[in-house]
Amino acid sequence: GAVVSQHPSRVICKSGTSVKIECRSLDFQATTMFWYRQFPKQSLMLMATSNEGSKATYEQGVEKDKFLINHASLTLSTLTVTSAHPEDSSFYICSARGDGGGLGTQYFGPGTRLTVL
C-alpha cells in the first residue's frame, strides 16, 4: 500500500521558537497533501490543503502566517509552526492523496507530537 512518512515523530521546543515538520509520500506522487491537527480527546481537524506548486488553502480559523506550508515537490510537504506557544501543542498528522478513482483515498502519515514548553 501507499506509504506516507513524517519527521520528526516527536518534538519538544521552547515557546517562541519555530518547528518544521516534514511529510513525504514514499512510493507514490501526491499532487495534494493535507495537514490535520488533533488535540487530546478531540477529532482530527483539517488545517489546510496543499497542492504542489501552489499556495495552500487554509481552513477557517487557522492562521496562515503562523502555520506555513510548503509543497515544493510531488513527494514532500512541510508544515512550519512559527513562534510556537504552549497552545500549539498537539498531534499533527499529514495525509497524501493517491489515485483512488472517484474517492481519492488519503493515506496518512504516523503523526508528529509537538510539545511547546
Partner 1 sequence: QKEVEQDPGPLSVPEGAIVSLNCTYSNSAFQYFMWYRQYSRKGPELLMYTYSSGNKEDGRFTAQVDKSSKYISLFIRDSQPSDSATYLCAMKQGGSEKLVFGKGTKLTVNP
**x-or-dash pattern for partner 1, window 4-43, by CB under 8 A?**
x-x--x----------------------x-x------xxx
User: Which one of 11-19, 64-72, 81-89, 108-116 is the stretch in contact with partner 1 (CB under 8 A)?
Assistant: 108-116
- Residues linked to residue 70 through DSSP beta bridges, in sequence order: 78
C-alpha neighbours within 13 Å on the C-beta side of residue 11? 25
Q: Which of 55, 110, 115, 117 binds partner 1 (CB under 8 A)?
A: 110
Q: Which is nearer to partner 1, 43 or 87 (CB)?
A: 43
Q: With respect to partner 1, which residue has the nearer C-beta, 48 or 81?
A: 48
Q: Which is nearer to partner 1, 40 or 86 (CB)?
A: 40
Locate 58 and state its grid cell: 487554509
C-alpha cell of residue 84? 510556537
Cα four-point dihedral sign 44, 76, 83, 10:
positive
Contact yes or no for 79/94 (Cβ under 8 A): yes
